[in-house]
Structure 1
Amino acid sequence: MNLHQLRFVREAVRQNFNLTEAAKALFTSQPGVSKAIIELEEELGVDIFTRHGKRIRGLTEPGRAVLKSVETIMQEVDGLKRIGNEFAAHDSGSFTIATTHTQARYSLPKVVQAFSQKFPKVRLSLLQGNPKQVADMVLMDQADLAIATESIADVDGLISLPCYQWEHLVVVPPDHPLLKSKSVTLEEIAAYPLITYDNAFTGRNKIDHAFQLRGLKPDILLEAIDADVIKTYVELNLGVGIIAGMAFDAERDKNLCAIPVGHLFGTNVSRLALKQGAYLRGYVFTFIELLAPTLNRKLVEQVLSGKKDVYEL
C-alpha cells in the first residue's frame, strides 16, 4: 500500500468515477491509475468500486469505509506538507479563499489589500460560488477557507466562526413613495415588484420567510447574485430592490436611496468556514484577524481542536 494508490482512489471519486479525468488531474496515465486501484483492492481483499465492464460506476459498501480512511490519511499528509512549507517560508506560498460574489465585491477588497501589503509574496486566489459551492471547495481542499452567510454554519466536515453582522436595505430611486413612510412595512414593500437575490444567496431565505409569516406573496420581478445588477434595474425604475447593507455606498450609488429594513428581515451573520483538522499557515491567521478583528489565532486554534462553542457574536 502506498500514497499514490490512496491519491488515485480519492481523485477517482472526485472526478465522478472517471479514471481518465482522474489521471489528467494527477498528471499520470489512466492505465496506471486503474492498475494501482486494482492492486490496492487485491491487497485489502475487498472491491472498493462497483464496475460495469472495465468502467467503475460507484463505491461499494466497504469502498465507502475505505474512502473515509483515505480522506483522513490524505488530510494528515497534506497537513505535514503545509507544516514543512510554513517552516521553510513564513511569508510566501499560496492562499485560496472561496466566497460569494457579495463578499468578494463589497467586504473583502480592503481586507485583501491590507493582507497583500503585509504578505506580498503570497499568491492569493479568490474562487466564487454560492454558499454550498464554496463550502464544498473547502471540503475538497480546493480552498483554505470559505466566507459566506449563515448557510455554511452547519456543514458536516467544516467548522465555522462568525465574522460580522449586517442587515438588508431596500433601495429605491430618489422620488419613490416608500421614502415617505416613517417605518416601512412588509405590506408596503410587497405592493411593488421586487428585485433581489437568487434563492441561494445573501440572506434570501430570511426575506422569503418574513413575507411568508405575514401571508404575503410578493412579485419577484428579477433575481440576481450581484447587488450591482439589482441596483441597475432599480435605477431603471423596474422595481424595489432588497440588497445587503454592505452593498450600498451613498457616494457611489448617488442615483438611489437606501431604507434600513433590519426590523423586517432580521440580522444576518457572515461567517468563515474551515475544514475540521486543517493545518493553517501563519498568514491565514493574519487574514482572519484582518477580516474579523474580534477573532485571533488562539481562538481559531481552539475551534479547530474541537471547542466549537468558544465564540459567537
Structure 2
Amino acid sequence: MDIDSLIAFVAVAETASFSLAGERLHLTQPAVSKRIGALEARLGARLFDRIGRRVLITEAGRTLLPRARRILAELDDCRRALDNLSGAIAGPLVLATSHHIGLHRLPPILRRFAVRHPQVRLDMRFMDSEVACAQVLHGEVELAIVTLPDVPPAALTLTPLWRDVLVLVTDHVHPLAKQRRVSPQQLMGYPAILPGAGTFTRRLIDRLFEPLGLEPPVAFSTNYLETIKMMVSVGMGWSLLPQIMVDGSLAALELAGGCPDRRLGVVTHARQTPSNAARAMLELLACEAPGDGVAAPWRGY
C-alpha cells in the first residue's frame, strides 16, 4: 500500500476537502484526487463520496481511518528512532500550543531553544487545548503545551509545568467592582463572558458553580482569552481569567469560596519515541518553565 496515498487519505478525511488537503500537503487538488483514486482502486472500496462541494467519508473510509493513522504513526516512530541514533538535535519538531500559552508563557523558552538548537525546524501550530491533545493522540503533532485535561486518555502522558491561577475580573465601573468580596450567587445577576462549552477551562468554571445549583448567564463565549479580556474591560460582563493576564484595564475581585486553578503543561504520546529535538524541548521546559513569579509550578498530579 502506497504511503503517500495513506497520507493523502488522512488529510482529506480530517479536512473534509481535497483542496484543503492539498494545501496541507503542498500538492495540487488533482494530485490529491489521483492518490485517493489509486488507494480506492487498490482497496476495491470507495473511501469518499463527493456530493456537490461536500466531501463525505464512507463507511469503508471510517473503517480505514484509525488504521491508517496507526500505520503512519508507526512509520514516524521508526523515523524518529533511526534519526535519534545519530544524536544530532536537528530536523522538524511539530509542536502544538494554545494562543494564551504561546503569548504569555513560551516566548522566552522558544527564544532560548532557537539559540541552542538552530538546526531544528520548529513547526508551531496554534489551536485549542482539546484539539491539540487529540492531535498528539493521533500522532499528528509530537508534543503539545496546553491546558491539561483532568481525565486524559491512557495513551497520553501529561507533564505539569505551571499552576495557572484564575481570577474573577470585571471592568472598573461594574456594579460589583467596589465590593471586597463577591459571592457566586451575586454573579448570577450579571452577564458572563466565558470560554466555549466543552473546553477544559470552561469545565473547571462550570464545576465551580454546579454544586451550588448555579449556571452562569453567559452572554458571549469565545476560546480566545485575549478577546474575553477585551470584552470584560469595556463592560460587557464578568469572567474568570488567568492571573497573568490581569492588568490595570481590569478590576480583580475576591470570589467567596475561591477560584479554580488550571494545570498547564506538556502532552506527549506514551507509546511514541520522542525525537532528539523533542527531548531537547522537554529538557528546556523542565528547566525554564517553573518559577515565573506569577503562577507556581504544579508539583502534584
Per the shorter chain, which TM-score range? Answer: 0.7 to 0.9
2:91 is the counterpart of 1:93: yes
SS in 1 for 2:113: helix
Question: 1:36 maps to what in 2?
Answer: 38
1:145 to 143, 146, 149: 143
Q: 1:287 aligns to what?
A: 281
Q: Does 1:264 align with 2:264?
A: no
For the Cα contact (< 8 Å) 1:102–1:247, is it kept in 2?
no
**Does the Cα contact within 8 Å between 2:98 and 2:146 map onto a contact in 1?**
yes
Larger Rg: 1
Assess if the C-alpha contact under 8 Å between 1:152 and 1:160 holds in 2. Answer: no
Q: Give unmatched runs, 5+ long, in structure 2.
A: 290-298
State how far apart, in whole Å, the 1-side matches of 2:100 and 2:249 are.
Answer: 20
RMSD of the alignment, in Å? 3.9
What is aligned with 1:304?
A: none
For residue 57 of structure 1, report the CA deviation from its aligned partner: 5.8
Please give the alpha-carbon distance, in whole angstroms, between the structure 2 residues aligned to 1:263 and 1:291.
33
Partners of 1:165 and 1:262 lie apart in 2 by: 20
Quick check: 1:187–1:216 contact (8 Å CA) kept in 2? yes
Report if the CA contact (8 A) 1:202-1:244 is conserved: no
1:188 and 1:21 mapped to 2: Cα distance? 47
User: Which one has more relative contact order, counting CA pairs under 8 Å at least 6 apart?
Assistant: 2
Query: How far 1:265 moved relative to its partner?
Result: 3.7
2:241 aligned partner? 243
Q: Using the TM superposition, name which of 73-82 and 263-272 deviates more.
A: 263-272
Q: Which of 136, 158, 162 matches 2:134?
A: 136
Equivalent residue letter for 1:99:
T
Helix, strand or coil for the counterpart of 2:78?
Answer: helix
Q: Give the conservation status (yes or no) of the 8 Å contact 1:171–1:241.
A: yes
Would you say how many aligned residue pairs link Structure 1 and Structure 2? Answer: 287
Secondary structure of the residue aligned to 1:167 is strand
Aligned pair partner of 1:190 in 188, 191, 199: 188
Contact 2:180 2:253 (8 Å CA) reproduced: no
Deviation at 1:39, TM superposition (A): 5.4
1:224-266 deviation line (CA, Å, top 9, x unaligned): 3333333323332333332122322xxxx22333235494343
| CA offset digits 1:39-86 (Å, max 9, x no partner) | 5336xxxx4748799xx964556x766554443332222122223444
Preserved CA contact (<8 Å) 2:160 2:265: yes
Aligned CA distance change for structure 1 residues 268 and 220 (closer, same or farther; 3 Å): same
C-alpha change, 1:21 and 1:174, in structure 2 (3 Å) is: closer
Change (3 A) 1:12 1:258: closer
Tell me how far apart the structure 1 counterparts of residues 48 and 22 of structure 2 sit (CA, whole Å): 19
* CA distance in structure 1 between the partners assigned to 2:185 and 2:35 by the alignment: 61
Normalised by the length of structure 2, the TM-score is 0.74
- Tell whether 2:240 aligns with 1:254: no
Q: In the TM superposition, what whole-angstrom CA distance separates every residue of 1:94-141 from its partner, at most 9, and x where no partner exists?
A: 222212222222222232223223223323232222233222333444
Give the TM-score normalised by structure 1: 0.71
Secondary structure of the residue aligned to 1:120 is coil
Residue identity over aligned pairs, in percent, reads 20
The change in CA–CA distance for 1:35 and 1:257 in structure 2 (over 3 A counts) is closer
Contact 2:69 2:138 survives alignment (8 Å): no
Gaps of 5+ in 1: 296-310
